[in-house]
Structure 1
Amino acid sequence: MAAACARSLGQIGRHALLTQRSNTGNFAALAPRISRQGGVKTYGTGGTGFRSKLINVAPLRGEGRTLGCAFLLGGGIGLYQAIKFTFQRHFAEQKTDAPETEPKLTLYQYKTCPFCSKVRAFLDYSGLPYQIVEVNPVMRQEIKWSKYRKVPILMVDDTVQLNDSSVIISSLKTFLVGKEKTIAEILICYPEMKSTNDSGKEVIEYNNKYWLMLSECQADQLYPEKESRKEEMKWREWVDDWLVHLISPNVYRTPNESLASFDYIVREGKFGTFEGFFAKYMGAVAMFLISKRLKRRHNLQDDVRQDLYKAVNDWVSAIGKTRKFMGGEKPNLADLAVYGVLRVMEGLQSFDDMMENTKVKYWYRRMERAVQQHTGQNGH
């Protein structure tokens, strides 16, 4: 449109020059509605939609050339301003459309910790960039600044500390869906509760940690099916209360499996040379014995593989044959939690046995692709 206006102005200017050369003697041929006595006269929109006012125009001989030059100059200035405005609007739109800056995230973790793996699965699926600080599981110097001495810990912009894997995931998901409140404001909705367990040890729990703090409209968009929100919460809690407790008894089931597991832990974890040697052999023996105690605590069968197989098959049955994921066409938070916990066994005998003796394989491979491809980043 700007270019068309400039061309119209240029044509009028050229016409004015030609009119002068044709000895019209006055400006009446160019603008017949302009008064010969001068003064103010407005002439209406014609085919080009052009409207202007000529003020005190005297139809003196020889001024046609000057007026034509004025039209040409005005057309050039108009074209410049139009181009300038177009570029300014273009850059403004680019700035408006640019994605908001994501918070800076730093995850303090053990790589082989199932709770840490849950958080990484969520972050990767959501396409959120984050830094990892691998914590030495013996000295834990990397988190000595924190009163909370467990992992995972997620720091947001180096100022806000999130503890507990489910609180971390619920807080971040709430933020990504709404972005109406800061993560610090959202975190207030998950208060700490201190209590004493059966052993007399103080433990910290968090209220509402499986609940997303969404408006009714946001909840309807995220959970279009009537019962999908309750289903997601139920299975997220199941992961923390049951599935995660099957991992250690299975990966440390026999002395050989325990040694293989600690070999993997030492390779992937943050250990010094001597410390790694000590951890591999002494840790393997210790965890083999601890796994027996965990088996009794959680009332597992003598063959703990059977509990793992049943749990995984229960999960697959809950998804059903018509859904790719529990979330439908894409994973929900329960899918990500189960996947995050199970994948810590990859490379170990327990993982191979699970894939061979249960129905989880196809779901697991779909989850693997979804997380690796960050398919949740465009639809938080």
Structure 2
Amino acid sequence: MAAACGGAFGRVGLQFLRTRGGIAGPVSSLVPLQGAGRSYGTGGGSGFRSKWFWTLPGRRVSGRVLGCAFLLGGGGLGLYQTVQFCFHNQFAQQMAPQSDTGDLRLTLYQYKTCPFCSKVRAFLDYHGLPYDIVEVNPVMRKEIHFSQYRKVPILLADDGETLQLNDSSVISSAIKTYMISKDKNLKQILSFYPEMKYKDEKGKEVTEYSNKYWVMLGEQDVEQHYPSKESMKEEVKWRRWVDDWLVHLISPNVYRTPTESLASFDYIVREGKFGFFEGFCAKYLGAAAMFIISKRLKSRHELQSDVRQDLYKAVNDWVTAIGKKRQFMGGTRPNLADLAVYGVLHVMEGLQAFDDMMAHTSMQPWYERMEIATEQHQGKH
């Protein structure tokens, strides 16, 4: 996708704004406007009124404007039925973390409008974990010059030793494991998610992480914190679905028309860490470029002519998978799949695509429950 983006930016005449380095890896880019007074949610209190972004894995793309336009983000790049409702409810009350996170100090390096960063914030906020935020300039990225990993989110965790966690799914899985495990420190837990590097079909080096959708627990902990092994596998399946499918529907929908594209970038500029010139280029040149690129993405992912229909189907499939007897996929409490879906959709609030999704799907009741659970930190021990 990044290859297509680079080409589109060239055609729009953006090459003259060059930066010292290119944008490597998945590029997140999506935007939202602050919504006001919608009946399906109040937002606010959780501290992450994020908006839309999207991810574009692919070739290295140079250019300051490209950085502005995409606000590159990272996150990295499961179908089993749950047990009967009564059995699930019996165990769901045990889903809250059972071990203290102690003096673990967390710092999140992010772009506010990145969906992968929003996934991490949803996880941390739901569990009531305090953390500091460092907003990264999407062009120069000097805030993360300390790291060879040049994408966001990055989470620094300090429990006496500062460790760097990369990839949104690894972050959620590792911290969840840490919260539950009683006999392993964070460094030991991170060894369960080894980094793998390989070259894709275009010769570009790609970094992935093994086991990133799994909470790495012993047999006893699995039995205590999941109603069944099948429910754990269900969680993994839908977390993977978020990264493999749901996120790919965002850009084609939020950049569907020139008006929607400009509205998206208006929010990016207001909420992002831009200089004046960078912000101007991102808002106008970026919006034009992403409108063009969104058409390529629609073709790449074989979406329908009306891309809204793919978005509607995806969220309805999610609600159908939860069913009528569960409040969340996790039962009476959100699990990591609930938090991943909510985090990604949350950044779209305030955009026309979000309003249309709420009006034409059955998402609203679940979304409102997630909003309350996250803002009230209901996963806090």
**Alignment partner, residue 297 of structure 2:** 294
Structure 2 CA distance, aligned partners of 1:172 and 1:210? 12
Structure 2 CA distance, aligned partners of 1:153 and 1:234? 24
Q: 1:337 aligns with which of 335, 340, 343?
A: 340
Aligned residue for 2:347, secondary structure, equals helix
**Alignment partner, residue 189 of structure 1:** 192
Aligned residue for 2:243, secondary structure, equals helix
**Alignment partner, residue 116 of structure 1:** 117
**Alignment partner, residue 249 of structure 2:** 246
Contact 2:101 2:179 in 1 (8 A): no
Q: Which has the higher helix share?
A: 1
Of structures 1 and 2, the one scoring higher in RCO (CA 8 A, sep 6+) is 2
The normalised TM-score by structure 2 is 0.72
Structure 2: tracts of 5 or more residues without a match: 1-98
The C-alpha deviation readout for 1:265-315, integer Å capped at 9, x for no partner, is 111111112221111101101111121121122111121111100000000
Larger CA Rg, structure 1 vs 2: 1
Letter in 2 for 1:135: V
Once the two structures are TM-superposed, the CA of residue 226 in structure 1 deviates from its matched residue by 4.3
**Alignment partner, residue 94 of structure 2:** none
Letter in 2 for 1:151: V
Structure 2 CA distance, aligned partners of 1:247 and 1:154? 24
Contact 2:198 2:206 in 1 (8 A): yes
Q: 2:164 aligns with which of 161, 164, 176?
A: 161
**Alignment partner, residue 140 of structure 1:** 141
**Alignment partner, residue 42 of structure 1:** none
Aligned residue for 1:155, secondary structure, equals strand
The C-alpha deviation readout for 1:327-350, integer Å capped at 9, x for no partner, is 000100000000000011001000
Structure 1 CA distance, aligned partners of 2:313 and 2:101? 44
Once the two structures are TM-superposed, the CA of residue 99 in structure 1 deviates from its matched residue by 6.0
Structure 1 CA distance, aligned partners of 2:228 and 2:101? 30
Aligned residue for 1:295, secondary structure, equals helix
Equivalences, count: 281
Letter in 2 for 1:125: Y
Q: 1:234 aligns with which of 234, 237, 240?
A: 237
The yes-or-no answer on 1:129 pairing with 2:154 is: no
Contact 1:102 1:128 in 2 (8 A): no
Structure 1 CA distance, aligned partners of 2:101 and 2:108? 21
Once the two structures are TM-superposed, the CA of residue 101 in structure 1 deviates from its matched residue by 2.6
Letter in 2 for 1:108: Y
Of the structure 1 ranges 102-111 and 220-229, higher mean CA displacement relative to structure 2 is found in 220-229
Letter in 1 for 2:114: C
Identity of aligned residues (%): 72
The yes-or-no answer on 1:178 pairing with 2:186 is: no
The C-alpha deviation readout for 1:219-272, integer Å capped at 9, x for no partner, is 001111341001000000000100011111111111110000000011111111
Aligned residue for 1:324, secondary structure, equals coil
Structure 1 CA distance, aligned partners of 2:170 and 2:101? 23
Runs of 4+ that moved beyond 2 A: 98-102
The C-alpha deviation readout for 1:118-143, integer Å capped at 9, x for no partner, is 00000000100000111111111111
Contact 1:119 1:168 in 2 (8 A): yes
